[in-house]
Amino acid sequence: MKKIVTFALCLGFGLAFSQTNQPETTNNQYNNTENTVTTPVEYPGGMTALMQDISQIFDLSCLEKASGTSKSLTTFDVNPDGSISSISTTGNNRAMNKEMDRVMNVLKKRWKPATKNGQAIKSTYNIPMTFNNY
């Protein structure tokens, strides 16, 4: 139970700080105003729903042999239709990386894509994870 609570907390903190969004600006030679509105990618139900879905699918048995802190960063593209592609995970625990790839491939919900000037665009999203096993 302690491992599950630790996992959930680490996942929550990681997801809270997983994406940075820097709006693009275009400077016109006649005025210096922003004319581009960008909205970030969003999982249906928000971060809380994403954390819950990942924690329900994630198999903690892959971390039983691990000791210390395991960290990973999962990166993927959210396409204009809300599907995800180009999933890759890097980190110091190969089993955790493989499990996060599996989890992301199993998620069935379509994401709300990022938009630029009202048009859906392809964007990259990162999910950092940390798991402490003591």
32 lies in some domain: no
Q: What percent of the chain has pLDDT over 70?
A: 72
24 lies in some domain: no
Residues 6-28: pLDDT tens digits?
665 556 656 555 555 444 444 44
Total tally of structural domains belonging to the chain: 1
Could you list the residue range(s) of the whole structural domain that residue 72 is in?
Answer: 2-17+38-133
100 lies in some domain: yes
Structural contact between residues 75 and 126, judged by C-beta atoms closer than 8 angstroms: yes
pLDDT classification of 73: cutoffs 50, 70, 90: very high
* Nearest residue to 131 (alpha-carbon basis) of 77, 61, 76: 61
Q: What integer pLDDT is reported at residue 5 of this predicted model?
A: 54
121 lies in some domain: yes
* Secondary structure class of 55 (helix, strand, coil): helix
Q: What is the mean pLDDT of the chain?
A: 81
* Secondary structure class of 13 (helix, strand, coil): helix
Question: Residue 29: pLDDT above 70?
Answer: no
Q: What integer pLDDT is reported at residue 28 of this predicted model?
A: 45
How is residue 56 written in tokens? 């329900």
96 lies in some domain: yes
Question: Which CATH number belongs to the domain containing residue 57 in this structure?
Answer: 3.30.1150
pLDDT classification of 30: cutoffs 50, 70, 90: very low
